[in-house]
Structure 1
């Protein structure tokens, strides 16, 4: 046994000495640089590549079979340079090869530079089309898959090192360029079915027309597990950190990612477990799986932890909106179930939390057209919390200097941006149980929107409020400037008093209000919209009271002043009750015209006509009041002769005029009325005396002439 052992040891020593001596002798006799031209020609013939080996080809035999190639240039014929390489080297341990195992030392690639160019003529990384009949190698590869897998099972590499690599991608058509520099990759020992540690770092810059727009600095660590036999590949314990410069004017942002990736090609299944995605104060997580790669089925879940939106916007260099409630927009969150196919990606169900409000629904995106569809429902939302805070003295400032003579009443600032409207590709439906905005409370709020090809259609703008309902629709055509707006509106049964009380804590007008309108306008500012507003409007109000304006007192005061009737007008109620009121209005370029306003007031009827000039904020209106019964039986009793007579009242002024001062009776009409009444009284008095004299004469003459003769004589004298 001892003799056999010694013989084996001696044999091994002899083999090693022989290989070493042969390797030294081979190295002295054989120089791979002598075959540089053949290597370059083979690359040209087999792949159409122009390969230039500008440096030496070094190699060694024992104890490692090693090869090192220096200074390589690579390109396709008649195309820009594709790649440069300073050095690539690899070595294989000889002794394990005797037993069929491949043990490699480090594979090192240093100074790789890839230059990828895309232009209208094509690109520089694809060569001539593959000739017919080249399918056979692929078939051979498929048929020898088992032997290759068996070979790879025994493969061991100490490490792979990619150092100081650079990749440049240029799209000359779009004028964009992406540069990856300082690309370094280092692995631990590569062995089948064993975790392989990975370390990666790089600098990435994005350019637009040679101007830098974005800069990234990234590093990554992970463990890779390659199960070649079952075609399963895993990246676990991924920890990536990326510094992002260029998005904000301040310090670079830091993006942190922790995740696991598992891909099983044989079962056509890939999974992503994103445990952490953190940017500023935003933290998200997701679990996504993709099945059936040819016709993919996507499943998963997404969650965004509650975050402060104002703080995030400030971190991103954006101005955070000022809100009436300082705590508004400070608690935003999202959760959803993910599902999709090759063509569509959906979040269903979807939950969005905005402070104390929650919205549930779904969202989807068409991956072919990038069209979106969103459906959301919520219980309650107080929009007043999110409006700009009221500044001190804003109430007084609103009334002072707002006359057109002092400044522009309607702002020319564009409040409707046209470019975002043109870009919209959206179908949306929104429903809310209760909405509070500007003090107005609306229930069962509904909105349906369709936006395609620069046209936005709001087919449903609904709300139930103050015992009534609003049913409206609108269309915005942004296909070209100016923006065109069309509105169809129907309001029914709104209690005016309740509405005004919520708006201003007082109700100068009460009653039930209804209206319908067809309106059009154009422009993006309030000034443009008001000045171009046109269409028609019908209104109706019933069972109400106008407080602060007493039509009865105005009428009674006018009669009293002219006729000195001694009426105590202070006892008249300072309000105007009405049974119904309505009219139709035509609107042309912001001027509202009306000719048929009617109202049945308490003991009065009212008719009116005139204009309201919205651009100039002026009112020029004439009202006609007609007494239809004894006006005020106790406090303002007037002559029954005034019943059925119209008393005109002129309402003229600006929107800032006190309503009590705006409407005044037409004094000349009252004067003419009293003159006519006085004339009637004179005629009645004189006429009465004539009739009395006529009767006496008839009686006396009748005695002498007879009745018929007397009548004929008087008829000739008085004409009747």
Structure 2
């Protein structure tokens, strides 16, 4: 038994020595550079691209047994820039194949791969050029006789990078630290796990995004099919799961996807793409969106959104639609249906800081901001036809609520029309229409709204600042604007806003305060001393007329029975302020004498300045121009002196007439 074990040991040792010696002889005898033309010709015949192995080729045992290729470059033979380059490529080979004179490729490992992807101004990419048929160089007998079998079961990319430059879209981005791993990879449709991680860098803003994709993948190159199942795509804080398929991408491309997501915070996702003020960021558990269902498919003709169901905090929104791509004689066509529950826009829009003062030159009045002076993308209206229907249980914003809401959006021949059906609005209705004509130069915008029978009391429950009056009111607005920037539109706004209230009780505390200030200069005392704080008026009317902009040239008129307010001024939206020079007048008969005052003060226009911020308390909105008030009282005094003098002269003249008459009668 011991002798048998000894012989067996000698046999195994000798066999190992023989194998090692044979391998050493093989590696010494076989020059790896003999495979250089084989690999270059293989790439040329399979892809039409040119592979250049500019560095050394050596046998390697790390990270795998096989060939090590240094300084590998790939080009299309047309553009001067390389398509891709590798600092090092390792190809794992089947050892037995080398003894048979074959090159059996089983694994591909690339270090420091760099890819250049460019798109010119005509939309042509450097990787998808229509290349002329390649003529493979003449093969040497040693190279041409080597069979090549490609059965790559593992693909690994370490520290790869991609530069993307799209002149047509103005895109300049890079992928860095790109790592790809796929075991049992194949192109015959058999499923294999795939993992990709990378960092996307916007070279314009230097913003960086970390991306990660994991999926079970199958690729059938002959059929042109790619399928991804058990997808896990992560872009913090977004995690998408589901499946996707691409079919027949060689001839008649079609695709479909069925995806969903975990809840994520919208603001934190947007922060990946734009700078957001830190103090405006919501808590991580707010602004929660969940992609509950996303089923979409498409082909070379267009896209069909079968269902998109979004969870928005405690409500949901559902979107379905179709999109047909533009052709030579047809614009892009879009049709969709949007339905939702109770939507509170305050949960999603940043809160406005009332009364905030902008920096000099940041607004329309003190200068022109870059954003407001930027050309609006109105030209897109000339490139598509669209029709969308919208319906929501309710929409709330800044304390106001509409319920229910139904509106239609249509774009045709460069004209956008938005029409809302009358929506419930505080015991009344609100309807609106908007039109944007982008085919005119400059673009023309028309907006109309109509409020009917709205309850001021109900409205006050949500907007306490409007609690200075009661009653049901009607209001309508009609405005036009022209321009292709926000500044141009605001500076050209013209039109009118009107409101009528019947049988309304109005808090006139501010009016009393103004007249109390006026009465300081009045020798007869306080004109408003007997006025009640709240007065019931038979008729309340108001209108505001815009003439070529917001900053100035506005005409204001308010009528409360026998109380009349009229003036001119403007609004500074950036500063959140208004400035009007107005006149307060208490009318005499035949106007209803709801606010009573000594007839001596009837029909006198009192000069008032209403200059304040919208956020200020209402009692601070207006105050008298005391210098001009003195002039009014002085004029009243002069008028009184003239009246008394006229009366005295009249009396003397009448006495003289009587004496003359008596004299003639006596004679």
Which residue does the alignment assign to 2:93? none
Any idea what the Cα deviations from partners look like across 1:506-552, whole Å, max 9, x if unmatched? 622334141232332547456x6554332344443332233134879
Cα distance between partner residues in 2 of 1:172 and 1:408? 39
> Which residue of structure 1 aligns with residue 449 of structure 2?
489
SS, match of residue 242 in structure 2: strand
**How far 1:351 moved relative to its partner?**
1.0
Q: Which residue of 1 aligns with 2:302?
A: 344
Query: What is the distance in 1 between the residues matched to 2:512 and 2:273?
Result: 64
Change (3 A) 1:505 1:562: closer
Shift of 1:455: 6.5
**TM-score, normalization: structure 2?**
0.62
Would you say the 8 A contact 2:491–2:548 is kept in 1? yes
Contact 2:563 2:584 in 1 (8 A): no
Report the equivalent of 2:342.
Answer: 380
Aligned ranges 1:261-660 → 2 under 5 Å = 261=218, 271-288=227-244, 300-314=257-271, 318-319=275-276, 322-323=279-280, 325-327=282-284, 329-334=286-291, 335-368=293-326, 373-388=335-350, 412-415=368-371, 418=375, 420-422=377-379, 428-450=388-410, 457-460=417-420, 463-476=423-436, 485-499=445-459, 502-505=462-465, 507-511=467-471, 512-520=473-481, 522=483, 524=485, 530-549=490-509, 570-582=529-541, 586-590=545-549, 591-592=552-553, 594=555, 599=559, 601=561, 605-607=562-564, 609-614=566-571, 617-621=579-583, 623-628=585-590, 631=593, 646-656=602-612, 658-659=620-621
> Does structure 2 retain, via aligned residues, the 8 Å contact 1:322–1:388?
no
Distance 1:449 1:650 in 2: 48
Distance in 2 (CA, whole Å) between partners of 1:490 and 1:410 is 33
Q: Aligned partners of 2:325 and 2:597: how far apart in 1?
A: 79
380-389 or 352-361, larger mean C-alpha shift: 380-389
**Which whole-Å CA distance do the structure 2 matches of 1:678 and 1:430 have between them?**
72
- Equivalent residue, structure 1, for 2:157: 201
Aligned partner (choices 199, 203, 209) of residue 244 of structure 1 = 199
CA distance in structure 2 between the aligned counterparts of 1:390 and 1:469, rounded to whole angstroms: 26
The farther-off stretch of 536-545 and 658-667 is 658-667
* Greater mean deviation of Cα atoms: 107-116 or 580-589: 107-116
Give the secondary-structure state (helix, strand or coil) at the position aligned to 1:570: coil
Pick the structure with greater CA Rg: 1
Q: Which piece of structure 1 moves more, 531-540 or 285-294? A: 285-294
CA–CA distance in 2 between the matches of 1:82 and 1:269? 26
Is the partner of 1:618 in helix, strand or coil?
strand
Q: State the distance in 2 between where 1:550 and 1:443 align.
A: 34
- Deviation of 1:577 after TM superposition, in Å, equals 2.8
Contact 1:314-1:320 within 8 A present in 2 as well: no
**Partner-residue secondary structure (3-state), 1:509:** coil
Q: How far 1:573 moved relative to its partner?
A: 0.8
The normalised TM-score by structure 1 is: 0.58
Structure 2 contact 214–233 (Cα < 8 Å) conserved: yes
Structure 2 runs not aligned, ≥5 long: 1-30, 58-64, 84-101, 129-148, 573-577, 613-618
Higher deviation after alignment, 165-174 or 676-685: 676-685
- Residues 177 and 206 in structure 1, CA contact (< 8 A), matched pair in contact too: no
Q: Secondary structure at the match of 1:198?
A: strand
Q: 1: CA distance between counterparts of 2:592 and 2:411? A: 60
Distance 1:663 1:359, change over 3 A: farther
Q: Residues 74 and 219 from structure 1, CA distance in 2 versus in 1: closer, same or farther, beyond 3 angstroms? A: closer
Could you say if the C-alpha distance between residues 173 and 570 of structure 1 is closer, same or farther in structure 2, counting changes exceeding 3 Å? closer
**Cα deviations across residues 396-427 of structure 1 (Å, max 9, x unaligned)?**
x67xx99x9xx987774355553555457665
SS at match of 1:83: strand
Deviation of 1:653 after TM superposition, in Å, equals 0.9
Corresponding position of 2:131? none
Q: Highest relative contact order (Cα 8 Å, sep 6+), 1 or 2?
A: 2
Q: C-alpha offsets along residues 345-402 of structure 1, whole Å, 9 cap, x if unaligned?
A: 22222111232332112244434577655532222222333444677xx76x67xx99
Q: Which residue of 1 aligns with 2:182?
A: 221
Paired with 1:346 and 1:297, the residues of 2 have a C-alpha distance of 11
Question: What is the alpha-carbon root mean square deviation over aligned residues?
Answer: 5.8
8 A contact 1:308–1:329 mirrored in 2: yes
- The Cα of 1:115 is off from its aligned counterpart by 0.8
Contact 2:580 2:610 (8 Å CA) reproduced: yes
CA contact (8 A) 2:378 2:438 kept: yes
Offset of residue 689 of structure 1:
11
Cα distance per residue 1:244-296 (max 9 Å; x no partner): 25249587724122123376988x98754243222333221233456788767
3-state DSSP class of the match of 1:384? helix
Distance 1:583 1:214 in 2: 60
CA contact (8 A) 2:175 2:198 kept: no
- Distance in 2 between the 1:338 and 1:234 partners? 23
Whole-Å Cα distance in 2 between the matches of residues 716 and 659 of structure 1?
A: 67
**2:583, 2:608 within 8 Å by CA — same for their partners in 1?**
yes
Q: Is the 8 A contact 1:365 1:373 kept in 2?
A: yes
Asked whether the equivalents of residues 197 and 211 of structure 2 are also in contact (C-alpha less than 8 Å), the reply is yes
Preserved CA contact (<8 Å) 1:439 1:503: yes
Alignment match, 1:152? none
CA shift, 1:315, in A, is 5.5
Tell me how far apart the structure 1 counterparts of residues 209 and 370 of structure 2 sit (CA, whole Å).
Answer: 33
> In the superposition, relative to structure 1, how do residues 221 and 280 fare at CA in structure 2: closer, same or farther (>3 Å)?
same
Any conservation in 1 of the 2:118–2:165 contact (CA below 8 Å)? no
Contact 2:76–2:127 (CA<8 Å) still a contact in 1? no
Unaligned runs of 5+ in 1: 1-54, 59-66, 90-105, 125-155, 180-188, 227-232, 695-712
User: In 2 relative to 1, CA 206–504 (structure 1 residues): closer, same or farther, beyond 3 Å?
Assistant: same
- Are the equivalent residues in 2 in contact too, given 1:176–1:208 (CA < 8 A)? no
- Cα distance in 1, alignment partners of residues 277 and 621 from structure 2: 41
Q: Aligned pairs, how many? A: 546
Deviation at 1:343, TM superposition (A): 1.5
